[in-house]
Amino acid sequence: MEAASTLPFESAAPGRATRFIRWLGSPSVVLFLALFASQAGVLVLSPVLGDVAEDFHVSISIAGQLPIVAAPLAAFIALFVARSLGRFELRQLLAVGLSLLGFGSLASAAAPTFSTLALAQIPVWAGVAILMSTGVSAAAKWTAEGERTRVVAHALAGPPAAWIVGMPLIGLAGEASWRLAFLVLPVPAALLAGLALAARPPDRVSEASGPLPLAALLRRQSVRRWTLAELLANSAWAGTLVFSGALLTEVHGTSSLATGVSLALVAIAYLLGNMWSGRRDPRRVRDSMLKWTAAAGVGVGLLWAVTPDLFTTLVLFSLAAFAAAARTVSGTAYGFEVSREHRAAVGAIRTATSQIGYLIGSLAGGVALAVGGFDALALAYGGLFLAALAPYVCLRRECRLRGSLLAAEA
């Protein structure tokens, strides 16, 4: 009788465990945590950039160039990953990305010189490239048509969630040492994402169907226009993130902790924009992308140009973040639309433009900051966002008569 009385508990426990494992290994959870970890690797420098510059006796504009070596390499890695999607399981590629991220974060924390810190960023950015490229591609391969935009929104919620959770932690750690900032978030995030990845079942055969024809895909005018627009928009937002911490610490005099908390509040606005955009009509992603690109350009321009006090800066930053997030979700969904039967390539293209965007954004911001101070960043980054609209401008009569770029080029 005693043995029999334990049977219901014993049968219920495996059921709950099975449901938890299925939930943990679901596309939304795995991709959310993978992209959370990817952003955890690159957001570390924002609130402590001034401390890094002071410790290594370099200017803030020079310290902002830390991605200059790693970002181009990461772009090439993203394209290589695209060629590897047909030869390796998506889970395997994500595991490699998480491993590189963890190793690079540990090496960055121990870097004795500015040069070695720059070198330590290479595995971090390589891991980020693999996670972003594979993660966005997995959102297309692991989901059905009707739920794709929702899963993309869930996955892309990972980066702002990393800011919300990580910025206060990094700011608090930065009060003691900027080196701790590399340890309090990226490493635990990589381990947690690895745990979820282990719960993911093996990929189906159809999810590993051969290398992606990127060259052929980029011969489509619609894809080329989308790629150029993504590059310009990503450059604007990446540069804004790189120098955002310096804006708060140098212009408004905030501490590392206050900077981290402030950026976490901005990330909440970004997350809200992400969630809002994920619920919009998937049939109107192009119109939504163009609208929010323009809004992000205006918001970012005002952010750098209007800085009377910390409150105004945070309000403008939050509005710009909301617009940038809505633009990112709708832009990714539009990439799936124009790529049609090769949707998995969107992850590689989008990641490559993101990584090159960090390079362009850092360079443009460094030059603008050296020439005209923070005010010049309004022209640099606001202008890049507005320039992202140019690839979609068509003055020909046949373009005006048709309602969408895709229909005009189909």
| Each residue's pLDDT tens digit, 301-334 | 999 999 899 999 999 999 999 999 999 988 988 8
DSSP per residue over 275-302, as a string?
Answer: HHHHTS-GGGHHHHHHHHHHHHHHHHHH
- In the prediction, which pLDDT does 310 show? 93
**Residue 362 in this model has a pLDDT that exceeds 50:** yes
- In the prediction, which pLDDT does 353 show? 85
| Any domain includes 86 | yes
pLDDT tier at 2, thresholds 50, 70, 90? very low
| Any domain includes 48 | yes
- In the prediction, which pLDDT does 209 show? 46
CA distances from 54 to 59, 61, 62, 105, 294 (A): 8, 12, 11, 20, 36
**Residue 119 in this model has a pLDDT that exceeds 60:** yes
Least confident of 5-14, 239-248, 252-261, 264-273: 5-14
- Cα separation, 400 vs 99, in Å, equals 49
- In the prediction, which pLDDT does 97 show? 93
**Arithmetic mean of pLDDT, 167-179:** 85
| The model scores a pTM over 0.75 | no
| Any domain includes 10 | no
**Residue 232 in this model has a pLDDT that exceeds 80:** yes
CA distances from 255 to 22, 51, 153, 239, 246 (A): 42, 10, 33, 21, 11
- Note whether 157 and 32 are within 8 A (CB): yes
Bigger pLDDT: 347 or 154?
Answer: 154
CA angle 338, 342, 343 (to 5 degrees): 70
**Arithmetic mean of pLDDT, 152-173:** 83
Beta-carbon count within 10 A of 191 CB: 12
| Any domain includes 14 | no
- In the prediction, which pLDDT does 403 show? 47
- In the prediction, which pLDDT does 190 show? 94
The count of structural domains within the chain is 1
Identify which of 280-284, 368-372, 378-382, 399-403 has the greatest average pLDDT.
378-382
Q: Which two tokens stand for residue 93?
A: 């590629």
**Residue 291 in this model has a pLDDT that exceeds 90:** yes
**Residue 166 is part of a domain; what is its CATH number?**
1.20.1250.20
Average confidence score pLDDT of the chain: 82
Q: Domain of 297?
A: 19-200+208-409
- In the prediction, which pLDDT does 282 show? 58
Which amino acid is present at 27? P
- % of residues, the chain, pLDDT over 90: 30
**Residue 290 in this model has a pLDDT that exceeds 60:** yes
Which amino acid is present at 348? A
Bigger pLDDT: 326 or 351?
Answer: 326
| Any domain includes 13 | no
- Per-residue pLDDT tens over the stretch 53-111: 888 988 877 887 776 667 677 777 777 776 666 677 888 889 999 999 999 999 999 99
| Any domain includes 171 | yes
- Per-residue pLDDT tens over the stretch 258-281: 888 898 899 899 989 988 876 655
| Contacts of residue 194, Cβ cutoff 8 Å, sequence gap at least 6 | 95, 98
Own/partner pairs, 277-282, CB within 8 angstroms, 24+ separation: 277/153, 277/325, 277/326, 277/327, 277/328, 277/329, 277/330, 278/149, 278/150, 278/152, 278/153, 278/154, 278/329, 279/153, 280/330, 282/148, 282/149, 282/333
| Any domain includes 351 | yes
- Per-residue pLDDT tens over the stretch 189-216: 999 999 999 988 887 644 444 555 666 7
- In the prediction, which pLDDT does 207 show? 45
pLDDT tier at 231, thresholds 50, 70, 90? very high
**Residue 46 in this model has a pLDDT that exceeds 90:** no
**Residue 141 in this model has a pLDDT that exceeds 90:** no
By the 10 Å C-beta count (0-12 exposed, 13-18 middle, 19+ buried), 199 is classed as middle
| Any domain includes 5 | no
